[in-house]
Amino acid sequence: MPVNPSGFDADVIVVGLGAMGAAVTYQAQSMGLEVLGIDRHEPPHEFGSSHAETRISRLAVGEGPQYIPFVARAHELWHTIGDAVGETLFHQSGGYVITNTDGGNDDRWHDFVTATDNVAQLAGIPYTTLTAAEVRAAHPNLKLTNDMRAGHEPTGGVIMCERAVEAQLRLARQNGARIRVNETVAAVTPDDQGVVVETDQGSYRARDVVLATGAWMHDLASAHHSNQLSITRQAVFWFEAEDLDAFRVDRMPFVIWTGDTIDDYVGLFPVPPGATNGVKILGEQFSETTSPSEVNRTISDAEVAEFYETHVAPQIDGVTSRCIKRAVCLYTNTLDDHFLIEPDPRSNRITVMSPCSGHGFKHSPALGEAVAQRIATGASDLDLSPFGWGDTPA
């Protein structure tokens, strides 16, 4: 490993190269920093949080106005990165948020449709509120009852998630970043001027380190952070469509359907070119926590059948019970379901940036750019402070 003039192996070492780490690696290398990226697997892979073909993105982020600048910048970057690799990484299908009660009140985001309405209005995002009948008229496959209501954002869409990770790592490599895969970081220790990173294959030293290890964050983060994080298993299903064309990105928007409890959540992802020929549908669960080593990565036929009966059949027409693909994916959750991006208490030279509570992908290139700017110049164009806990964990 060549040593740069400052005596470091790199300016910055990025540990973990999923959505977050790939973005920082690409951005930091583009800013002229020497970057070494290390991953225990070979990204994009199916063991963490950034796989299963697609992710939803919307400018009207009902999770809170603090996210708006990041997703807005991310929408620009998906096009820049896509153009650089000659691929479409973002498909602008538009999207619905729907609630199945009078306002909805799930335990996680509460009245998510009203929150989305408010963010859209605040930021002047193109957005229309719709009755159940209006949604059914446009998309008869969505079985809204008359007490339901929806918002439609034409600027939303789906991101090709593995392609996006692969593209950023490819561009980073082309710009000179060194990427080491199938290498596990065992310890990250600050010294007087930098940080030492020990792996199962060697030891490296850099001025700055970014920890983007997702669901593995407990292995390397300080107790101050890791004590407040939980990992949850999420199951993803692709069901056979009666008429697949009705669910393609040019005809079907994504759907986020919330209800009375977290267990009522349903997400539907339209089918982009080159993806599995089925309709990707998922729920969310937060009651059972796990870890990357213990998680059950198998989805049984019984689990498929139960999901179809409780979540798909009552709400979506045109999708058969035949599951043609399934995947297990991990959320890394904070106590308040928001993000954690801030220096590690051991050193300002270590930035923790992965825990994104299951809604981070859409923001990832902009978060990567902001973290890289902070390392390169000491400040970022976009304000990362809403994602820091300071001295008190959330």
Ligand X SMILES: Cc1cc2nc3c(=O)[nH]c(=O)nc-3n(C[C@H](O)[C@H](O)[C@H](O)COP(=O)(O)OP(=O)(O)OC[C@H]3O[C@@H](n4cnc5c(N)ncnc54)[C@H](O)[C@@H]3O)c2cc1C
Binding site for ligand X (CB under 6 A): 15-21, 38-41, 43, 48-50, 52, 55-56, 184-185, 212-216, 219-220, 234, 236, 282, 329-331, 354, 356, 358-362
The residue among 212 and 299 lying less far from ligand X, judged by its C-beta, is 212
**377 vs 7, 138, 209, 241, 371, CA distance in Å?**
20, 49, 15, 50, 10
The residue among 94 and 360 lying less far from ligand X, judged by its C-beta, is 360
Minimum distance from CB of 279 to ligand X (Å)?
A: 15
Minimum distance from CB of 247 to ligand X (Å)?
A: 16
Minimum distance from CB of 256 to ligand X (Å)?
A: 8
Minimum distance from CB of 102 to ligand X (Å)?
A: 26
Minimum distance from CB of 366 to ligand X (Å)?
A: 11
Report whether 77 contacts 144 (CB < 8 A): no
Residue nearest to ligand X (CB): 18
Separation CA 348–CA 111 (nearest Å)? 37
The residue among 33 and 212 lying less far from ligand X, judged by its C-beta, is 212
Separation CA 247–CA 139 (nearest Å)? 10
For residue 185, the number of C-alpha atoms closer than 13 Å in the C-beta half-sphere is 29
Structure-block tokens of residue 246? 């009705």
Minimum distance from CB of 377 to ligand X (Å)?
A: 23
The residue among 134 and 325 lying less far from ligand X, judged by its C-beta, is 325
Separation CA 195–CA 220 (nearest Å)? 13
The residue among 130 and 282 lying less far from ligand X, judged by its C-beta, is 282
The residue among 54 and 136 lying less far from ligand X, judged by its C-beta, is 54
Separation CA 22–CA 213 (nearest Å)? 11
Separation CA 283–CA 339 (nearest Å)? 20
